[in-house]
Structure 1
Amino acid sequence: MAFQQGHVPVLVIGGGIGGCGAALQCARSGVETLLVTPGPWTGGMITSGGVSAPDGNELSAWQSGLWGALLRQLRLELPDGLDHNWVSCFGFRPQQAESILQRWIREARRLSWWSGVEVLSLERNGDQLSKAVLQRNGEPITISFDVLVDGSELGDSLALADIPHRLGWDSQQQWGEPSAPSAEALKDPFFEREPVQSPTWVIHGQWQGPWTPPEQPVEPFSALFKGCADRFSLPQLLSYGRLPGQQLMLNWPLHGNDWPVDPGAVFSGDAQRQREQLTGLRQHSEAFLAQLQAACGPQLQPASAFAGEALAFQPYWREGRRLIGATTVIEQDLLPHSPNAEHQQQAIAIGNYANDHHYGEREWPLADKSMAWGGRRSGTPFVIPFGALYTPEISNLLMADKSISVSHMANGATRMGPLLLLVGQAAGQAAALCVQQRLAVAELPVSELQRQLLNDPVAPSGVVPCPELPWHQPDWAQLQLDRLDGESTQHQPATAPHEPASQQQRLLIQIDGERWWGDTESGQRLSLITLEPQVQQVLPDQHGRWLDLEGSANPFGPWWRVNRLCP
């Protein structure tokens, strides 16, 4: 890309997976785009941050957009499939996903990517951001732009441009959230010590040889990690984030490598506090891996996952600064049986993670947001409205990662990588439309944005939370549009396409309430789950019958994931 006098139509501050999604979508939509990232990779938490057994958006209906495209490309390229762990239905090595993302970036003709860039400052003129000063290769570079997309992990633009934002806890009195603390409770010093969720510097191990982890540690855990294998066994701890090739994602919340010491340091502006936090994060995860090595013996070694290192390129920040947007997603918007009709009309992305908060001193109880689906529990779906991506105060800023306008409670469900990739895709599409039509962000009709996302020729992205509508459904986009218009068009969920690495099994189906089982002809009993609505619709009525099924075994779930019924 040849920048004309230091100008680019869309500048994307990256570092998060949402920034990568925004840059790809904007460039694919025909607008010159510059993506800048602080590190050498583009994929945020799911690659650079090492969280490559991602939670959320697992059902077929939520596998649309760039997230679905990434999953399907991974399945094509990984002969052993993605069923390797029990925290997620998907597991891949960070480099495997990053190589796909970087290939897509190279193929996007209107996209340039600069790595190793620090954003030093942003210039604001009235209600517009106009210029960024970047440091690249030790030299400052000034770039002007028409639209800025913030796809950073921490909401960097909000601090750099002094844009009003929220950080940390909200009282129950503010929005009536059932899990939020009262204003009186917020006087507890705990909330000052832990204003945001604990971060983790994810580290990867490599299991060598046969998978035979000891049931009991060879050497006991030190006081720092005592109890890490109490609720779950040592083999379960290790297989929690098991990846292809027996690489192990170590992101363990139970007396593991979460780092609760001064979690607000990263936002403080105090360089000494920030250095101490990063040092503590790094050393704590390295100590955790060393303890696991002592507990397991020589079969567990550090992985060479990140340019030869075991530590991810960046910490996993669970929370950033949060925009005060035109619309705010709160806890009630996530819960079952409480859909926000206004938000659904503005929807630009769908998530479903079941909500989860990480603190060092105490576990935080949360209102249940799960449903029985496919032989297991799954998070109930919710939407991100377009108004959560922008503020009326700035006419040319879009947020594309964790720093969208959500409450502290809701952030526990909206912070997951698959959803952030979809939010980024929507932000990138919106940025392209604003440039092409010379609109302020708030002037963009959300219906036009929704139609562009649904009809995208490369990675169409869903906006209607209908679990019975899989990504591969014929007339999928039209059925989504019908629901946006209030029409409940009836359809039968389509049969899923064949998956590479899938197998066939003849099983005697046993349905026991929410749980499904399949007995093999040799008498082995398998726990069954599915992500496909056709299977969800048909299988509960097949109790006591022998069926031929196609799916994938996951001995670490342990479950057998049914993809489709054989003819």
Structure 2
Amino acid sequence: MTEQQVPLAVWGGGTGGAAAAIQAARAGAPTLLLTPGAWLGGMVSAAGVCCPDGNELTPWQTGLWGALLRELARREPAGLDHNWVSCFGYAPATAEAVLRAWVAELPSLTWWPNCRLLGVRRIGARIEGLELERLDGEGRVAARVELRPRLVVDGSDRGELIGLAAAPHRLGWEPRELWQEPSAPAAKDLAEDPFFRRQPVQSPTWVAMGQLRQDRVCPAGAPSLREPFAQATAAFGLERTLTYGRLPGDRVMLNWPLHGNDWHRGLDGAFGDDAAREAELVLAMQEHSLAFAAALTEASQGWLELAEVFPRNGRSADLAGPSPLALMPYWREGRRLQGLSTVIEQDLLPRGAGAAIAPLPGGDGRSSAVAVGNYANDHHYPGPDWPLAAKSCRWGGRWSGTPFCIPYGALVSEAVVNLLAADKAISVSHMANGATRLQPLVLNLGQAAGMAAALCLQGNREPAELPLEPLQRALVLDPRAPAAPMPLWDTPWHHPNWRERQLAALEDPALLGTDGHLACPGSLRQSLGEDLLPSQAPKEPGEQSWRGSLSADGEGGYRLTTATDCWPVITLEPALHRWLEDLDGARTVTVVGCCNPWGPWLRISRLDG
């Protein structure tokens, strides 16, 4: 076994691991990224979850998430708006190619794919060594290595390194009595109801890819799917079930929670040390997803076919291949670090009636936020939907989640001095995990962890000793992917004074009202700038113009009636949202944006003239 010193080791395989390694290396830190497979993007690529949820509004399209989104839009000729679960959809290989290009341009970043993490050597409060095997393309051991890292980041979906290090962590449910979370079960129920033992974490999904044939259509009166999937199309019908995750080129992401390919059994086998039991779980999940795809194919009478887009061998670096199955499961939850701060459900919910943002972390002084998320909160279990406290609001003609902030302390281990967490392994409660587990936020959490690691190495500090202000300023002022720690509803990523507004809100959180708008007193107005007009937004690939009569529908939505059609209208732009809110009666306008007939909606970005 060879031994190697490394300043920063990132155990990846998750979206957050790739983000942490890229950002740390961009900030100058010599970084080694270790992934168990040959793809590095986790959810956004290898797991095939390519219709991202959350952070869809332009104020939240910042950091590595925003940079990835805009590069995907540049690379996908047909645009990204193709489905009804998200405003974005792309080929998994496209995201993987973007991430690999970012990795390849960084001389200070080394990536070792196809690694098996065997053990973590921890002495007292410090991780001293990582023991691993490097495998070749056939799965044979090519080398055994012990790494001696200065700092370690766990950027995996399931918190594998945290578990092997015996770092204090949580796995599964917590009782309502612990933090008084409104949606958590009571301790009595946790003790007595066998459901909680059968379902220790949220259900994962093994995503499969399909192809809709252009020479066929969805059959009228399509039959129900065969068991156990007979109820999968009951709520929306076959066509809506399939176009839920539609992608460019008539591809579809099969990731369906309602009697579909979510997997609910034997999940504790993913968090032990029994490799044979975990292998059985993997095979069962794969077979279940393929059976669901086959049932959909049969019911569609040839409209849907399987799309063989992933390498069949999970160790292959190819960006195309003969398998419809993603290279890894979509884990919604894993081990969760016990950090210096713990995000609980109340940290995600609006401050009060009519409030547009959740409480800011950090008390009355400077905010301790390092990333913004806004997903509504969503938990996947068998049976009826788990009732969750509402955190959504009507915005821009659609529903969106109330934004919340993740504090830096949620990334820092309370007990292991050189350990940071990214991806889903950050310090959150089981209930809060339903809102913090999504791709956009995880990308920016990984970015924050990577930036923190680089600053720690530069200043010879442990993560718990890192001053907060330099980290926040580094994220905001990053030249490649400036990231927003603060939830400014009125400030899209493309606002010319975006950086100044973020820094002002970090320095004095009292400037940010409960409506999420930044107050601009006279002394600050010049440096912070005015809000944008509804005619001000960047051009995007594939945009078009429509002219017609625009009016509110009385239920928080809007419609544009043209000479030939009547379209629901949505927007992701704050200036247009404010303009729509003030709409009084019908108005003849010309709007610019993108058409999504599967939504269906017109997603408008600006007024023309």
Range of TM-score over shorter length:
over 0.9
Matched, 1:181 2:185: yes
* CA-to-aligned-CA distance 1:427-459 (integer Å, 9 cap, x gap): 000000000100010000111100000000000
Name the CA distance, whole Å, in 1 between partners of 2:372 and 2:224: 43
* Offset, 1:518: 3.1
1:422 to 444, 449, 454: 444
Aligned to 2:47: 49
Name the CA distance, whole Å, in 1 between partners of 2:562 and 2:359: 48
* Offset, 1:512: 2.5
* Offset, 1:392: 2.5
1:371 to 393, 399, 403: 393
Amino acid in the other structure paired with 1:492: D
Matched, 1:170 2:170: no
* CA-to-aligned-CA distance 1:326-381 (integer Å, 9 cap, x gap): 10000011111253333481111100011111111442110111011000110110
Name the CA distance, whole Å, in 1 between partners of 2:579 and 2:325: 44
Amino acid in the other structure paired with 1:368: A
Where in structure 2 are the equivalents of 1:299-448 lying within 5 Å?
299-307=303-311, 308=321, 309-337=323-351, 339-343=358-362, 345-448=367-470
* Distance of aligned partners of 1:515 and 1:428 in 2 relative to their CA distance in 1, 3 Å threshold: same
Aligned to 1:222: 226
Name the CA distance, whole Å, in 1 between partners of 2:19 and 2:275: 30
Aligned to 2:492: 470
* CA-to-aligned-CA distance 1:487-540 (integer Å, 9 cap, x gap): 432631362101111111112111123433333331521000000001001123
* Offset, 1:18: 0.3
User: What TM-score, normalized by structure 2, do the two folds share?
Assistant: 0.90
* CA-to-aligned-CA distance 1:65-97 (integer Å, 9 cap, x gap): 000001111111112110000000100010011
SS of the residue corresponding to residue 427 of structure 1 reads helix
| Native 8 Å contact 2:9 2:33 kept in 1 | yes
Where in structure 2 are the equivalents of 1:205-244 lying within 5 Å?
205-210=210-215, 212-217=217-222, 219-244=223-248
Matched, 1:545 2:587: yes
1:132 to 130, 133, 139: 130
* CA-to-aligned-CA distance 1:105-128 (integer Å, 9 cap, x gap): 101121111110111111112211
| Native 8 Å contact 2:379 2:386 kept in 1 | yes
* Offset, 1:270: 2.5
Name the CA distance, whole Å, in 2 between partners of 1:363 and 1:270: 31
Aligned to 1:480: 502
Amino acid in the other structure paired with 2:244: Y
SS of the residue corresponding to residue 436 of structure 1 reads helix
Name the CA distance, whole Å, in 1 between partners of 2:224 and 2:64: 44
Name the CA distance, whole Å, in 1 between partners of 2:560 and 2:105: 47
| Native 8 Å contact 2:224 2:231 kept in 1 | no
SS of the residue corresponding to residue 515 of structure 1 reads coil
Aligned to 2:549: 508
| Native 8 Å contact 1:549 1:564 kept in 2 | yes
Aligned to 1:559: 601
| Native 8 Å contact 1:215 1:234 kept in 2 | no
- CA RMSD across the alignment: 1.4
* Distance of aligned partners of 1:10 and 1:514 in 2 relative to their CA distance in 1, 3 Å threshold: farther
Name the CA distance, whole Å, in 2 between partners of 1:61 and 1:304: 36
Unaligned runs of 5+ in 2: 136-140, 312-320, 353-357, 512-518
* Distance of aligned partners of 1:416 and 1:215 in 2 relative to their CA distance in 1, 3 Å threshold: farther
* Distance of aligned partners of 1:272 and 1:361 in 2 relative to their CA distance in 1, 3 Å threshold: farther
Name the CA distance, whole Å, in 1 between partners of 2:16 and 2:567: 37
2:254 to 250, 270, 285: 250
Amino acid in the other structure paired with 1:461: A
* CA-to-aligned-CA distance 1:199-227 (integer Å, 9 cap, x gap): 1100011112246222432x542220011
| Native 8 Å contact 2:155 2:423 kept in 1 | yes
SS of the residue corresponding to residue 117 of structure 2 reads strand
SS of the residue corresponding to residue 327 of structure 1 reads coil
Amino acid in the other structure paired with 2:59: A
User: What TM-score, normalized by structure 1, do the two folds share?
Assistant: 0.97
Aligned to 1:153: 157
Amino acid in the other structure paired with 1:157: L
SS of the residue corresponding to residue 504 of structure 1 reads strand
* Distance of aligned partners of 1:211 and 1:560 in 2 relative to their CA distance in 1, 3 Å threshold: farther
Name the CA distance, whole Å, in 2 between partners of 1:256 and 1:172: 30
* Distance of aligned partners of 1:286 and 1:5 in 2 relative to their CA distance in 1, 3 Å threshold: closer
SS of the residue corresponding to residue 563 of structure 2 reads coil
Deviates more, 1:359-368 or 1:170-179: 359-368
Aligned to 2:84: 86
* Distance of aligned partners of 1:215 and 1:114 in 2 relative to their CA distance in 1, 3 Å threshold: farther
| Native 8 Å contact 2:3 2:145 kept in 1 | no
Name the CA distance, whole Å, in 2 between partners of 1:351 and 1:519: 30
Name the CA distance, whole Å, in 2 between partners of 1:562 and 1:328: 38
| Native 8 Å contact 1:150 1:397 kept in 2 | yes
* CA-to-aligned-CA distance 1:389-448 (integer Å, 9 cap, x gap): 012211111101101000000000000011100000000000000001000100001111
Q: Moved runs in structure 1, 4+ residues, more than 4 A?
A: none
Matched, 1:199 2:204: yes
| Native 8 Å contact 2:553 2:559 kept in 1 | no
Name the CA distance, whole Å, in 1 between partners of 2:271 and 2:548: 54
| Native 8 Å contact 1:39 1:117 kept in 2 | yes
Aligned to 1:526: 567
Name the CA distance, whole Å, in 2 between partners of 1:179 and 1:209: 44
1:23 to 21, 24, 39: 21
* Offset, 1:237: 0.4
Name the CA distance, whole Å, in 2 between partners of 1:532 and 1:129: 45
Aligned to 1:493: 532
* Offset, 1:262: 1.5
| Native 8 Å contact 2:550 2:559 kept in 1 | yes
Aligned to 2:314: none
Name the CA distance, whole Å, in 1 between partners of 2:221 and 2:406: 44
